[in-house]
Amino acid sequence: MTSKIKIKFLGTSAQIPTAKRNHTGILLTCNEENILIDCGEGIQRQFRLAELNPGKITRILLTHWHGDHVFGLPGLLSTLSFSEYNKTLYIYGPKGTKNFMNELLKTFNFRKNFQIVVEEIAKPGTFYENKEFKIESEFMKHGIPSNAYSFIIKDKLRIDKSKLKKAKIPEGKHLSELQRGRDISIDGKKFKAKNLTYLEKGKKISVVLDTLNNEKIIPFVKNSDLFVCESSFSSENNEEAKEHLHMTAEQAGIVAKKSSSKKLILTHISQRYEIKLKDLLNDAKKNFKNTEIAKDFDEFIV
């Protein structure tokens, strides 16, 4: 079966944290990968409260370099250093990330006892790929370089074991040929791969944080199983959202519908809406019913 993807929200506030919401941080877990998307202030404590081990992080994806999305980096790196972190930590981000990281590492001067590889994403599209999955990015509009990200488990060709049994095909090296979609021959009898296999669809998680609503979002998040989107403003504050280069909950709902996404999770919630979350939720649900607002430590499995 296709691998499951777990999304854990470690922080769901906007620019100002509240008693209930920490600054942004989203942990995506799939098999051995533990990918942290943004690293808001206090993220290392959020790991502890969630009873998660930050030492399992494999990659960090930074959407942009505004403080509420990166102020947790110095503390997290220090924690990893004193926890004998023994992996290579890959940090990806938009243009300027290498310079910011160089300055950060010089300023805080923590024990450099593990390797950090920093990669700037110079163009949209796939920037990391292996046999199981790929990670894509798209440039957003937020006044400074800003990226959206999609984590995509690839489609897999699977062998239908019941059809193998019916055709009386034994175990053997020929099964690896079927998995590649190649026809096989056994004792002079030919078997077509298309009759013995099926395509197992992959999964897609898309994360769009701080950005002005723009024409790139819908094609980028198209067919997402889970679409995580910022919701810094309600539709009543549409002009303010434009002024600050953010999206509204209503716009997120429209994108989810037009992109044929399966589920929408709203995050990056401003303190002004904490007492009227229902209004924000209804704003999105006008266009897309399968919507939830994330709370700190909420977990979703796809």
Percent pLDDT > 90 in the chain is 79
Active site residue 187: no
Sorted by sequence, the CB contacts under 8 Å of residue 80 that are 6+ apart come out as 54, 55, 57, 89, 114
pLDDT band at 26 (very low <50, low <70, confident <90, very high): very high
Q: With 80 as the cut, is the pLDDT of residue 179 above it?
A: no
Mean pLDDT score, 5-30: 96
Sorted by sequence, the CB contacts under 8 Å of residue 144 that are 6+ apart come out as 64, 65, 66, 94, 96
Sorted by sequence, the CB contacts under 8 Å of residue 272 that are 6+ apart come out as none
Q: Pick the more confident residue, 230 or 111.
A: 230
Look-up of token digits 């002079």: 188
For residue 172, how many other CB atoms are within 10 A of its CB?
10
| Distance between CA atoms of residues 206 and 222, nearest Å | 9
Residue 175 three-state SS: helix
The DSSP bridge pattern shows strands 89-93 and 299-301 to be unpaired
pLDDT digits (tens, 9 = 90+) for 205-232: 999 999 999 999 999 999 999 999 999 9
- Where does the chain show beta strands of DSSP type E? 6-11, 25-30, 33-37, 59-61, 89-93, 116-120, 125-129, 133-139, 147-153, 156-159, 184-186, 189-191, 197-200, 203-208, 226-230, 264-267, 291-293, 299-301
The pLDDT value given to residue 197: 80
The pLDDT value given to residue 218: 98
Q: How far is CA 34 from CA 54, 137, 139, in A?
A: 9, 18, 23
The pLDDT value given to residue 249: 97
Mean pLDDT score, 201-206: 96
Q: Are 173 and 152 in contact (CB under 8 A)?
A: no
| Distance between CA atoms of residues 213 and 235, nearest Å | 12
Largest distance between two CA atoms of the chain: 73
Mean pLDDT score, 16-41: 96
The pLDDT value given to residue 190: 86
Domains of the chain with bracketed CATH: 6-155+201-301 (3.60.15.10), 157-197 (no CATH)
Q: Are 250 and 284 in contact (CB under 8 A)?
A: yes
| Distance between CA atoms of residues 77 and 80, nearest Å | 5
| Distance between CA atoms of residues 3 and 17, nearest Å | 33
The pLDDT value given to residue 245: 97
The pLDDT value given to residue 3: 83
pLDDT digits (tens, 9 = 90+) for 154-173: 988 888 888 878 877 878 77
pLDDT band at 1 (very low <50, low <70, confident <90, very high): low
Mean pLDDT score, 95-124: 92
pTM (two decimals): 0.91
Sorted by sequence, the CB contacts under 8 Å of residue 204 that are 6+ apart come out as 150, 151, 152, 153, 223, 224, 225, 226
pLDDT digits (tens, 9 = 90+) for 34-74: 999 999 999 999 999 999 999 999 999 999 999 999 999 99
Mean pLDDT score, 90-109: 94
> Residues 38, 68, 225, 296: which is the catalytic one?
68
Sorted by sequence, the CB contacts under 8 Å of residue 173 that are 6+ apart come out as none
Tell me the average pLDDT of the chain.
93
pLDDT digits (tens, 9 = 90+) for 127-142: 999 999 999 999 999 9
Of 91, 209, 99, which Cα lies nearest the Cα of 149? Answer: 209
